[in-house]
Amino acid sequence: MRETGRVPRYTRPANSDYAEDPIKAFGNIMQATIIGHLRKNPGLTRAELGEALEIPKMTVANGLEKLMEVGLIIADPPRDVAMRGQRVRYTVDDARVTEMVMRLEQVLGEF
């Protein structure tokens, strides 16, 4: 127990940040599915991704937004340059995804 008299919410092992970054980056099964599909089919739009995965465009948009925030997905053109109504195509930053996978494998004892 801490000096405050409260029990910590959860215990964090040493070097836990090393594992938490990739876990947060991949997010959930939807985001992992988006990454997997874009790795096999680069350059899709939100609508094309939604149609291919049979999920609403807004769900795709939310997943893509989170993945772009952590640098796993690249928008072309970048969102700050794209004009309203312009089709934005998405690809995976393979080097960043590979880095995150390798970090998880190291934590899990795969290396």
Q: What is the pLDDT of residues 58-87, one digit of tens each?
A: 999 999 999 999 999 999 998 777 778 789
Beta strand residue intervals within the chain, DSSP E: 73-76, 89-92
Rounded Cα gap, residues 71 and 27, in angstroms: 13
CA-based max dimension of the chain:
56
pLDDT tens-digit series, residues 7-58: 566 666 666 666 677 777 777 889 999 999 999 999 999 999 999 999 998 9
- Residue 6: predicted pLDDT: 66
pLDDT over threshold 60, residue 111? no
Q: Which two tokens stand for residue 68?
A: 């772009």
Look at residue 89 and tell me whether its pLDDT is greater than 80: yes
For 91, the 3-state DSSP assignment is strand
CA distance 53 to 74: 19
pTM to 2 decimals? 0.77
Chain-centroid distance of CA 54 in Å reads: 19
Q: Is the pLDDT of residue 1 over 50?
A: no
Distance CA 97, CA 73 (A): 9
